[in-house]
Structure 1
Amino acid sequence: MENQKKMSLFDLVFMSIGGIIGAGIFSMVGTGIATTGRSVALALIVGMIFTMSQQIRYIFTASMFQLSGGMYSQNALVLSPFLAGVSAVVTLVSSVSYSVFGISMAQYLGDLFPVLEPYQVPVACLVLIFFFIIASTGAQIFARAINALGILKFIALGLFIIFGFTKVQTGGFEGEPYFINGGVSFLTAVALMSFTCNGATNIINVQAIAENPKKNIPKAFFIASILVAGVYFLLGYVASGVAPYDQVAGQNLGYIAGLVLPGPLAVFFIVGGAMCSLSTALLGGISGMPFMIIGIAEDGWLPKFFTKKFNVVVTLAIISILPIIGGFSLDNIVSMMLVPGMAIGAITNFQAMSMPERFPEEWANSGLKCSPTLYRILMVISIITSLMTSFFSLTSLTLPMAIGTVIATILIFVWTWYRMKKGYVNITSTTDMSEEPVQAK
């Protein structure tokens, strides 16, 4: 490990960009158009600002510590044991988002092979099962091949934007103004589009092999987020401006690419762009998630059953497939996932406001410099955007789904309380890899 080549700032920026531009943008843009029309371009920009504000604590913490358990360890470092447990269980529940990948892959396969169009549900389930099997076998050759093809998604999006600009109706279409469904729908679109803006913080998980991680990881985060925000704005502008609302609302990006690109390039967009991006993101997520779940189980928040990788993989597969069988739409799945995640995020950032005082030495030596006052202002902004995302995600659901989501969120708190009361919990994953073990002050 000592001779392993370290990741440079460029490597981290590229990885961070790749983490953001993944499944979300290829599957959710049509949903954003359906929600707010041509304002989806603005919703993507605001969604990125929201996401950056919600993630800024992770970046500050990464500039202070190198923690073995990634973002879960960061939460455990600043939260009370009970809230750390809630955050941990939310991590398991968030795996429901893999169903978005399966549904999107099935839609794109239906675009390529119309004979599959009537079989979206079984195709989506089979796609997920295939990737869970690949990830669980540790097929590194397959993973490297998919990652090597990751550059194709950037080329595909570039072609989409370049060709699309020549076909955008700058004046819009009759009766289709910006904010087509009103201000509340725009904020709902912002909440949904924030799902497409996540992923920049994946670089936190490679702190051990990064050059000067406490400085380069924050730099990479900001550079990647700003660059992608620009690309997303252009993409949203094109996707919502090449055809009337009723033609593109709710459609995936592959369908819209068919309106923009010549036939062969449209096929390339679906295969080299959408399919490759979805495959890369899905394989990367499935490969890494079991280790985090195992760590959570070893801390006691989940039964010992989850300390075995096979058991974790099977459970994640079941959680991912259930929403597909249940017929949930992409926006419903994303909203149900965002409600508890953003709520606990707001609580975590409130608890983290005391970081400069709790860890004065680490704060002074942080790779990301700012005053404690500015840091707390950023945390307040983060709390507000997190609560807004959670609220508008909840209001976008039907009443039965909203009630079910609230009940599920409450059950997460109840489960965590039960595990603590029974004495199962012993948190061991908050040790700084570059220093002596850190004790909360």
Structure 2
Amino acid sequence: MASQESKLKKVLGLSDVMSIGVGQIIGAGVMALTGIAIGMTGSGVTLAFIISSFFTLFMVLPIAVMGSAIPTTGGLYRYTSRLLSPKVGFFWLTLFMLGQLTLAMFAISFAEYVQGLVPSAPLKLVAFVLITIFFIANLVGVQFAARVEKVMVVVLLLALIVFVVWGMPEINYSVFNSVDMFPSGFVGFFMAVGLLSFATGGAQVVAELGGEMKNPGRDIPLTIIVTTLGVGLLYAFMATIAAGVLPIADVANKPLTDVARTILPGPLFIFFMVGGAMFALATTLNATLSWVTKGIMIACEDGWLPKSLGKVNEKFGTPHWLLTLFYIIGVIPIITGLSLGVISALGTGVLLLANMIPVFASTKLPKKYPERYKKAKFKLPPKVLNTVVYIGIALLFFQGYLLITSLSFKIIIGAIAFMVISALYVNIIGNNPKYGLNRNLGFENEPDSSSEEVTNAVVELAITSEKSIEIVGESSKV
């Protein structure tokens, strides 16, 4: 019987993957965190964004290496379960699922921007409609969702460029001096760098879609590196305007709305609010729904959850039950009115801490699969990879700690209780043979990117030869 994974369609090209990467990175972070970072380090926010982009690379390069060496569906779960252990892999996945409360964060934040333009707009209804639209878009196929993402990303980038072009002439460059750039010293500066790494992160999620890409061994690392640095540079320009147009005191700890209203004429201000702020959130929500199901689909195949839960729709090639599950996870906080602050801090904090596990898993790749590692289109020397990994883990822990400790005691206890329950479930399922868990997990029997390219070349050669024979046959008849 064919696996559900084999029913997924390889339809994503480099432009599709780039759009998903950009859409995932540009979200609530730049709109909300730029002002907070200005409060920490004044006009040093520009340099903080640039450094944070390079720091983010330490957190995502290990994923890029694994994605290039062994492109696959549900990358982060698969790398963790195959390179570390099945139990660790599924435990990571349970934390990942808790972190997807952030789906509601994107929808609610979008609705708040709508209310900024139309105060009478109902918050819950707007958020619910938005997440429902993207749920349906992803339900009918990842390629359709990618096309929607492309259009939105183009509008989004145009809106951000408008902000930069209109803002550059208005900058007071005298504020970029040693006093105004480091008002709280290097401690405040590096706190801002750590905070902004949340805004510059996200591109690593394209590793979840390796099974649906046409050339994943190339596209995964290329997308991760280019989009992380490219968007980081765009953020730096935006931060320069945010800190250099109005007095620092007027923009510290505030969103970009006041700066945009100052530099943009009325119609362009509305375009920025819709195409920039709102589309930043919408693209992240749509991109997340395009990849979020992949790891748990593989976990269903492995036996951790019922296989029927991971069933892929025959017509659209999408895991409809899992999409519905994450749709419900996103809708519940919207309906219950859970605080946006709680959703963002809990969801993002858990994800940052959880992602230390797959990042660490990359250190096992060179020894466990040396041939795959050797053939990878993108790789780092093992010692360099290990150094990158440990720096990345330290940065993830620092950011996750800041967010989790900002929560109330009850929420922290609830998160710990969830982790304990998850650990118990992992041990019950993992230690009991009657559940039929697949214990022979590995990449040995899965085709690597190079062998797949060879197979495609052979198929193309065979088709060409067959056509040549037919032409010769027809010529001889004449």
1:235 aligns with 2:245: no
> What CA distance in whole angstroms lies between the structure 2 residues aligned with 1:362 and 1:39?
42
- Greater alpha carbon shift after TM alignment, 29-38 vs 69-78: 29-38
Q: Of residues 334, 337, 350 in structure 1, which corresponds to 2:360?
A: 350
Contact 1:191 1:393 in 2 (8 A): no
- 2:119 corresponds to: 114
Deviation by residue 1:82-124 (Cα, 9 ceiling, x = unmatched): 11111221222221111221122112211221222xx434433
Deviation by residue 1:391-430 (Cα, 9 ceiling, x = unmatched): 2223333444444444444443333233323444326685
Q: Which amino acid aligns with 2:392?
A: S
Q: Of residues 93, 98, 119 in structure 2, which corresponds to 1:93?
A: 98
1:193 aligns with 2:204: no
- Greater alpha carbon shift after TM alignment, 344-353 vs 372-381: 344-353
Distance 1:182 1:13, change over 3 A: same
1:279 aligns with 2:293: no
Q: Of residues 68, 91, 113 in structure 2, which corresponds to 1:63?
A: 68
> What CA distance in whole angstroms lies between the structure 1 residues aligned with 2:211 and 2:156?
28
1:329 aligns with 2:329: no
- Greater alpha carbon shift after TM alignment, 164-173 vs 383-392: 164-173
Note the C-alpha offset of 1:322.
4.0
> What CA distance in whole angstroms lies between the structure 2 residues aligned with 1:4 and 1:339?
33
Note the C-alpha offset of 1:27.
4.6
Q: Normalising by structure 1, report the TM-score.
A: 0.82
Distance 1:182 1:93, change over 3 A: farther
Q: Of residues 420, 424, 427 in structure 2, which corresponds to 1:417?
A: 427
- 1:132 corresponds to: 135
Q: Which amino acid aligns with 2:199?
A: T
Distance 1:374 1:80, change over 3 A: same
Note the C-alpha offset of 1:376.
1.6
Deviation by residue 1:140-183 (Cα, 9 ceiling, x = unmatched): 7676345324211111111111222233343449xx94456676
> What CA distance in whole angstroms lies between the structure 1 residues aligned with 2:35 and 2:101?
20
Cα RMSD of the aligned pairs, angstroms, is: 3.6
Deviation by residue 1:251-273 (Cα, 9 ceiling, x = unmatched): 44445422321111111112222
Note the C-alpha offset of 1:39.
4.0
Contact 1:27 1:104 in 2 (8 A): no
Secondary structure of 2:107's aligned partner: helix
- 2:392 corresponds to: 382
- 1:168 corresponds to: 171
Q: Which amino acid aligns with 2:240?
A: Y
Deviation by residue 1:25-47 (Cα, 9 ceiling, x = unmatched): 34543444455554443443343
Q: Number of paired residues?
A: 430
Deviation by residue 1:311-359 (Cα, 9 ceiling, x = unmatched): 43443233224444444234x4333224333333324433432322222
Contact 2:194 2:395 in 1 (8 A): no
Contact 1:339 1:405 in 2 (8 A): no
> What CA distance in whole angstroms lies between the structure 1 residues aligned with 2:83 and 2:210?
19
Contact 1:131 1:282 in 2 (8 A): yes
Distance 1:286 1:395, change over 3 A: same
> What CA distance in whole angstroms lies between the structure 2 residues aligned with 1:4 and 1:129?
25
Distance 1:64 1:133, change over 3 A: closer
Q: Of residues 257, 260, 283 in structure 2, which corresponds to 1:257?
A: 260
> What CA distance in whole angstroms lies between the structure 2 residues aligned with 1:204 and 1:356?
18
Secondary structure of 1:63's aligned partner: helix
> What CA distance in whole angstroms lies between the structure 2 residues aligned with 1:327 and 1:11?
33
1:433 aligns with 2:428: no
1:45 aligns with 2:59: no
Secondary structure of 2:293's aligned partner: helix
Query: What is the percent sequence identity of the aligned residues?
Result: 27
- 1:7 corresponds to: 13
> What CA distance in whole angstroms lies between the structure 2 residues aligned with 1:304 and 1:210?
24
Deviation by residue 1:276-297 (Cα, 9 ceiling, x = unmatched): 3332332232243234433323
- 1:29 corresponds to: 34
Distance 1:300 1:169, change over 3 A: farther
Q: Normalising by structure 2, report the TM-score.
A: 0.77
Q: Which amino acid aligns with 2:68?
A: S
